[in-house]
Amino acid sequence: MRMGGLASGMDTEQIMRDLMRAERMPVDNMVKQRQVVEWQMDAYREVNRKFNEFRNKMVDQFILTSANLSAKRATSTNSSLVTATASPNAGNVSLRLSNIDSLARSESRFSSGSITEGAKIITNQAIKGQIPETYVDGELTKDVWKSGLAKTETIRVSSSSNTVSFANGNSNLNTDAVGDTVVKVNGKEYKTTTGDPGADEVKVDYGTGTLTFANGLPAGAQVSVTYIENSETANYTTSSITTFDREGNAIKDTFVIKDSETLSQIFQKVNRSNVGVSMFYDEHTDGVAATRKETGINNKNGGQEMIFGEGFFKDVLKLKESYEVNEEGENVLTNGQAAKNAVFTINGMETQRQTNTFTIDGVTITLRGETVGNEEVSLNVSTDTDKVFDTIKGFVDQYNELLDFVNGKLTEERYRDYKPLTDEERDAISEKEAERWDERAQSGMLRNDRMIQSVMDRMRTDIYGMVSNNLGSDYNQLSAIGITTSRDYNDRGKLEINEDRLRQAIERDPAGVAAIFNSDGPTSGEKGIIRRMRETLTSGIDSISGRAGGMGGKVANHQFTLGREIESINTRITNFERRLQQVEDRYWRQFTAMEKAMQQANAQAESLFAQLYGNQ
């Protein structure tokens, strides 16, 4: 703490503040200069964000989702029976559907009778004890449960190998349960054997806890093995479900069921399995309903779509199929519904599909009901003029919005007399006055900026230039489809749309209109205006980032021009602050020397006064 003026009576502190205020004026000017550079940097980055947003919107609307410019619309004369949607690749066609004799449906099955001996099943309690302990298979009575503890282990093969170890050398394996072991590789079940394995087979050796595959397994393969340990208290049972994929290939999954599992847990296993079957329990009928997730006939041999293995599924849950002969002499499933294909006629040709939704030449058709008599449904595919028009109009609106923003920055008035305020200057005026001052001081940071003006000029060239394509279309630039520049000078290049001409062009040649925007080629003349503008904006964004940072990984000051300028100003300020400290110290030494001299003079005066007048 420094104190002055004790001898001189002068307000040394105030004098020092006044002296240093004058000395600090160069520093204040540098701080103001730095603030202006920071405002310029923020203004550049704001423009760059607008450029980037506009570029991303163009890519999303015209390149990534180019279907917006080739949208098709499908209409149905009876949407309660048939609906349709058309892809951009669909032609403008007309389809007639009649004789929809059946809709595709999946096979379903339900228990042929009560599955308990009276009481209803509590689905969240252990299944053992809630179902009969035996079942009848032909003329034989068999036990549902076997003695043993079922365990599941998942092994990931680290390197290509023919053998996989399981159970970690456990010597308590139930050697009589080799046939109940279930092995899957990447979800596909392998048939187990105790001899040499063939294709799609695996040898199970309970003595060594080893699985051996005929063809070996690649590195990264995931092996799931469910095996049985000896146990006097635990029980298990096994059963399988077989279904068929769209190509008619069998899909089998064998389930090892623990006596401690609940019916809900068992159904979760089934529902998650790749056999594509869902199950649930119905308390009212005390039965189980099973439904194939895939519709249509997939079993090429014409048999069942769901084949339930003996034991738990087929006999305990009573999902075995039951038939009776109807009046036409046909076998009819009495405990479920057989799968059906959709049978219909399209443009006079009788055909079938496994699903009710299918695609023909880019038109996705959904059958919703069966026709009666000679009823016919027509589907008409045409260009979705409204969607294409809205897409193009959205681009024009976004471009005009960008133009307004950038032109506003380029023409904003620059008030050079309004410098940034220092803290002392800001404290001396009201808050509203400071806001108005800042508004003027920040105005016009990018006025007539050549870099930004260059980007806008190149975009105008991209928009107005002709687009060459090999479609033979009459439409090769925006003016040909009714999009022109505003005649009002104050609009500074805004685009205007003649809606009637644009709609006519879309209806007449939608491919030609789309090519103006998103066609591609090796030269600029062959590229659509969206691709040209994207390249221009990418180049402009990189240039602005090189000057003001904020994008392209340029975040540190040393990576861009204005940042380096700010660092340079900061260095000059630091150096000048050091000099100011030296000046201030020098002033204090001078004032201290003056105070000492005056104090000595006062002491001498007092001594002389005492000598002259002390003896009177």
Pairing of strands 134-137, 201-205: unpaired
Query: Do 274 and 168 fall into the same domain?
Result: yes
Tell me, yes or no, whether 164 and 312 share the same domain. Answer: yes
Residue 585 to residue 607: CA distance in whole angstroms: 33
CA-to-CA distance for 79 and 366, rounded, in angstroms?
9
pLDDT of residue 322: 81
Question: How many domains does the structure of the chain reveal?
Answer: 3
Residue 30 in any domain: the answer is: no
According to the model, what pLDDT value does residue 151 have? 93
Phi, psi at 292, each rounded to 5°: -75, 130
- Whether the CB-CB separation of 144 and 266 falls below 8 Å is answered with no
Rg (the chain; Cα; Å): 43
What are the φ and ψ backbone dihedral angles of 274, each rounded to 5 degrees?
A: -80, 5
Compute the residue count for the chain: 616
In a domain, 560, yes or no: no
The helix/strand/coil state of 378 is strand
Q: What is the mean pLDDT of each run of 10 residues along the chain (616 residues)?
A: 56 69 79 90 94 87 70 92 89 92 95 87 93 87 94 92 86 87 93 90 90 90 94 94 93 95 96 95 94 93 89 93 74 86 95 95 94 93 89 92 94 91 87 92 93 93 86 84 86 89 90 86 87 92 91 83 90 84 78 78 79 66
Answer yes or no: is 562 within a domain.
no
Domain match, 483 and 454 both:
yes
Alpha helices in 468-549 (DSSP H): 499-508, 510-518, 529-548
Strand 201-205 and strand 188-193: the pairing is parallel
Please return the burial class of 541, using the count of CB atoms within 10 Å of its CB with bins 0-12, 13-18 and 19+: buried
Instruction: Say whether both 522 and 410 belong to one domain.
Output: yes
Structure token pair of residue 495: 């685009």
DSSP 334-389: SSEE--B-EEEEETTEEEEESSSEEEETTEEEEE-S---TT-EEEEEEEE-HHHHH
For residues 181 and 226, give the distance between their C-alpha atoms in angstroms, rounded to a whole number: 6
Asked if 192 and 204 touch (Cβ cutoff 8 Å), the reply is yes
Q: Is the same domain home to 475 and 498?
A: yes
Considering the domain boundaries, does residue 252 fall inside one? yes
Q: pTM of the entire structure?
A: 0.68
Spatial distance between the Cα atoms of 512 and 549, rounded to a whole number of angstroms: 40
**Domain membership flag for residue 77:** yes
Does residue 594 lie within any of the structural domains?
no
Query: Helix, strand, coil % (nearest 5) of the chain?
Result: 40, 25, 35
Structure tokens at 65: 């989702």
Q: Residues 176, 221: one domain?
A: yes
123 and 243 inside one domain: yes
CA-CA distance, 305 to 248, in Å (whole number)? 10
Shared-domain flag, residues 129 and 82 = no
Q: What is the 3-state secondary structure (H, E, C) of 106-135?
A: CCEEECCCCCCCCCCCCCCCECCCCCCCEE
* Residue where one domain finishes, among candidates 554, 582, 609: 554
Phi, psi angles (nearest 5°) of residue 445: -60, -30
How do 250-258 and 376-383 pair as beta strands?
Answer: unpaired
The parent domain of residue 526 ranges over 35-68+386-554
Distance CA 227, CA 238 (A): 11
The pLDDT value recorded for residue 4 is 56
Pair 349, 425 in one domain: no
Which of 309, 337, 365 is at the close of a domain?
337
Number of H helices, E strands in the chain: 11, 29
> Is 243 within 8 Å of 305 (Cβ atoms)?
yes
> Among 512, 530, 554, where does a domain finish?
554
Looking at the fold, whether 471 and 522 belong to one and the same domain comes out as: yes
Check whether residue 241 and residue 362 sit in a common domain: no
**How many CA atoms, within 13 angstroms, populate the side-chain half-sphere of residue 295?**
16
In this prediction, residue 444 carries a pLDDT of 92
Residue 13 lies in a domain: no
Residue 203, domain member (yes or no) = yes
Q: Which amino acid is at 263?
A: L
| Same-domain pairing of 177 and 243 | yes
Can you tell me which residue has the tokens 């806001």?
Answer: 435
